[in-house]
């Protein structure tokens, strides 16, 4: 996908909307100690065309996309949910056409996929704006009185009046509540819609099917929505977003794999394989990000005279370059038809009714007890591996890694079924052995980099120090393992 050459800007919008009648008198903000003065601007005439898929997939997730003319912020606007009363707005300047810019489409590509984005509504607004300043003269909020005329494409015209109250970025969040009380005192009521276009399209929104009402289906549906959120974060290269998207991908796969019959699947189901492949693609960038952070922290903790040769360049800068490569590879995968079809399969998966077994019994679902048995079995195998003199260190490390993978599945199952104490116990094992596995990966990398550095005639002393430190991390994790396993056993009961 070609990148849009225009520069996008982002800001956080914190606002509330209020329903009022045509004769409601505008509120007064006098007497508030936080407001020094109020300036009224010239009326603004705003015209906007809103875009969505035929199935209104953006609107389903409270995302709005418009092309607005008129007013001080004319341009393309993409608004994304960012918490209560808050949305992230991505803006691009206007162009001569009416085709959605590639850069904005890419932000919501996991929602839109390869569906067409077309006009769904047109809204015209005559806006009166009062800018509110604090006693020092800095603007802190805007009160907008809007006269709205709108219609869905092919629909009848609607007209109404509403108020919007928005505080500027950086203002005290509590200010919104104080100012909102003045609007309520003036006779306003909270609006029954989150956006103007949401109100316009309410009557034409497709009916949505709800997932089956069981804990695992609900957990999977929630994680699929999380995947879409982290997808957007990865596209803008938010710190740790690749890691979080990979974790979410693995959560979905683990929950579904533990309850395959409940989703009508088998071991080699397309969606399970695709989730595994996606996690592998994301893992390239994730592992590099972890190593860069790990080495930077370790090197910063050493006296300057012990950091010898271009070790920072090789370890930190090298890891950051691998992260960049891995991130770009992830984006390529996330813009592919293959990725879109996986997301389509996930949408179908969260609505899948449990399969009927041949015996007529309820379909098998993951339980805390069955997931814990796998942890216990993996722990037994690891103890035997540790005591076996014929096994290599790599084989013993892999046995410990299998405990971590089992604990991770238990954690997700326990969280989905409300067993919070078990989830916490499994998380403790996962975190401990996660440190162990990161140490394993780091030591392999250090050996490789030390060999390359030695061949280049560089001092490799520092690599040895870092390797020893990583060994201590692994030994410490192994020493603590039996204790956290015992804690998990108590939590399971």
* Domains of the chain in sequence order: 9-204 (2.40.320.10), 215-492 (1.40.20.10)
Predicted local confidence at residue 467, as pLDDT: 97
* Residue (of 296, 276, 161, 285) closest to 235 by Cα position: 285
CA dist., res. 244 & res. 227, Å (int)? 9
What's the mean pLDDT when you consider all of the chain? 92
Other C-beta atoms closer than 10 Å to the C-beta of 404 total 20
CA dist., res. 43 & res. 322, Å (int)? 52
Phi–psi pair at 158, nearest 5 degrees: -120, 155
Taking the CA atoms of residue 463, residue 467, residue 468 and residue 469 in that order, the dihedral angle to the nearest 10 degrees is: 100
Question: Residue 309 carries which DSSP code?
Answer: S
Give the torsion sign (CA, 220, 225, 231, 234). negative
Angle formed by the axes of helices 420-455 and 461-492, nearest 10° = 170
Q: If 0-12 CB within 10 Å is exposed, 13-18 middle and 19+ buried, where does residue 206 land?
A: exposed
Other C-beta atoms closer than 10 Å to the C-beta of 134 total 18
End-to-end CA distance of the chain: 53
Predicted local confidence at residue 383, as pLDDT: 96
Using alpha carbons only, what angle is made at residue 202 by residues 103 and 107, rounded to the nearest 5 degrees? 15
Predicted local confidence at residue 197, as pLDDT: 95
CB 462 within 8 A of CB 291: no
Q: Dump pLDDT digits (tens) for 244-257.
A: 999 999 999 988 88
SS3 343: helix
Q: How many Cα neighbours within 13 Å face the side chain of 308?
A: 15
User: How many residues are present in the chain?
Assistant: 493
Q: Chain centroid to CA 309: how far?
A: 39
* Residue (of 212, 335, 354, 345) closest to 269 by Cα position: 345
Spatial neighbors of 297 by CB under 8 A, at least 6 apart, are: none
Question: Residue 304 carries which DSSP code?
Answer: G
pLDDT of residue 314 exceeding 70? yes
Phi–psi pair at 483, nearest 5 degrees: -65, -45
Where does the pLDDT of residue 265 fall: very low under 50, low under 70, confident under 90, or very high at 90 and above?
confident
Find the mean pLDDT for residues 279-304. Answer: 96
Beta bridge partners of 17: 164
Q: Dump pLDDT digits (tens) for 13-41.
A: 999 999 999 899 999 998 899 999 999 99
Radius of gyration of the CA atoms of the chain, in A: 28
Find the mean pLDDT for residues 297-319. Answer: 96
Provide the token pair at 224: 């699929």
Percent of the chain with pLDDT over 90: 81
Give the torsion sign (CA, 226, 232, 238, 244). positive
Where does the pLDDT of residue 268 fall: very low under 50, low under 70, confident under 90, or very high at 90 and above?
low
**DSSP line for 21-88:** -TTPPPP--TT-TT--EEEEPPPEEEEEEEEE-TT-HHHHTT-EEEEEESSTT-EEEEEEE-STTEEE
pLDDT of residue 110 exceeding 90? yes
Spatial neighbors of 354 by CB under 8 A, at least 6 apart, are: 212, 214, 261, 262, 263, 264, 362, 363
CA dist., res. 329 & res. 284, Å (int)? 9
Where does the pLDDT of residue 3 fall: very low under 50, low under 70, confident under 90, or very high at 90 and above?
very low
Q: Dump pLDDT digits (tens) for 354-411.
A: 666 556 666 667 789 989 999 999 999 999 999 999 999 999 999 999 999 999 999 9
SS3 255: helix
CB 24 within 8 A of CB 188: yes
CB 400 within 8 A of CB 382: yes
Q: Dump pLDDT digits (tens) for 422-475.
A: 999 999 999 999 999 999 999 999 999 999 999 999 999 999 999 999 999 999
Beta bridge partners of 485: none
Find the mean pLDDT for residues 283-291. Answer: 95
Phi–psi pair at 277, nearest 5 degrees: -65, -45
Other C-beta atoms closer than 10 Å to the C-beta of 336 total 11
Predicted local confidence at residue 309, as pLDDT: 95
Phi–psi pair at 399, nearest 5 degrees: -65, -40
Q: Which of 203-207, 332-336, 356-360 has the lowest mean pLDDT?
A: 356-360
Predicted local confidence at residue 360, as pLDDT: 60
């Amino acid at each position: 996908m070609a990148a849009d050459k225009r520069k996008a800007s982002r800001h956080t919008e914190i606002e509330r909307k209020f329903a009022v009648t045509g004769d409601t008198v505008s509120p007064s903000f006098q007497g508030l100690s936080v407001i020094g003065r109020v300036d009224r601007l010239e009326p603004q005439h705003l015209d906007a065309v809103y875009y969505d898929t035929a199935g209104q997939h953006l609107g389903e997730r409270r995302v709005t996309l418009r092309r607005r003319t008129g007013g001080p912020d004319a341009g393309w606007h993409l608004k994304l949910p960012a918490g209560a009363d808050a949305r992230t707005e991505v803006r691009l300047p206007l162009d001569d056409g009416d085709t959605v810019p590639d850069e904005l489409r890419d932000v919501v590509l996991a929602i839109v996929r390869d569906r067409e984005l077309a006009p769904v509504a047109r809204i015209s607004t005559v806006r009166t704006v009062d800018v509110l300043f604090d006693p020092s003269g800095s603007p802190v909020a805007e009160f907008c009185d809007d006269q709205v005329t709108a219609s869905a494409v092919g629909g009848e015209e609607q007209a109404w009046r509403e108020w919007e109250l928005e505080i500027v970025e950086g203002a005290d969040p509590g200010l919104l509540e104080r100012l909102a009380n003045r609007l309520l005192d003036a006779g306003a009521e909270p609006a029954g819609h989150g956006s103007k276009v949401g109100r316009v399209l309410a009557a034409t929104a497709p009916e949505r099917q709800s997932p089956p009402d069981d804990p695992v289906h609900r957990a999977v549906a929630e994680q699929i929505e999380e995947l879409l959120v982290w997808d957007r974060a990865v596209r803008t290269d938010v710190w740790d977003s690749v890691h979080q998207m990979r974790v979410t991908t693995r959560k979905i796969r683990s929950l579904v794999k533990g309850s395959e019959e409940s989703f009508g699947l088998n071991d080699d189901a397309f969606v399970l394989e695709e989730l595994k492949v996606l996690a592998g693609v994301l893992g390239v960038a994730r592992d590099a990000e972890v190593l860069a952070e790990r080495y930077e922290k370790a090197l910063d903790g050493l006296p300057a005279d012990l950091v010898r040769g271009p070790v920072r360049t090789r370890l930190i800068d090298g890891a950051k370059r691998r992260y960049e490569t891995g991130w770009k590879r992830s984006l390529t995968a996330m813009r592919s038809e293959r990725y879109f079809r996986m997301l389509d399969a996930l949408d179908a998966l969260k609505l899948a009714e449990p399969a009927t077994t041949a015996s007529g019994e309820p379909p098998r679902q993951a339980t805390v007890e069955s997931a814990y048995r796998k942890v216990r079995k993996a722990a037994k195998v690891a103890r035997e591996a540790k005591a076996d003199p014929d096994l290599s260190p790599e084989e013993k490390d892999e046995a410990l890694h299998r405990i971590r993978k089992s604990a991770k599945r238990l954690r997700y199952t326990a969280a989905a079924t409300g067993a919070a104490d078990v989830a916490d116990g499994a998380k403790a094992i996962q975190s401990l052995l996660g440190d162990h596995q990161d140490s394993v990966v780091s030591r392999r990398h250090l050996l490789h980099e030390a060999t390359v550095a030695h061949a280049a005639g560089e001092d490799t002393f520092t690599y040895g120090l870092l390797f020893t430190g990583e060994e201590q991390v692994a030994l410490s994790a192994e020493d603590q393992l039996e204790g956290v396993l015992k804690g998990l056993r108590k939590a399971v009961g």
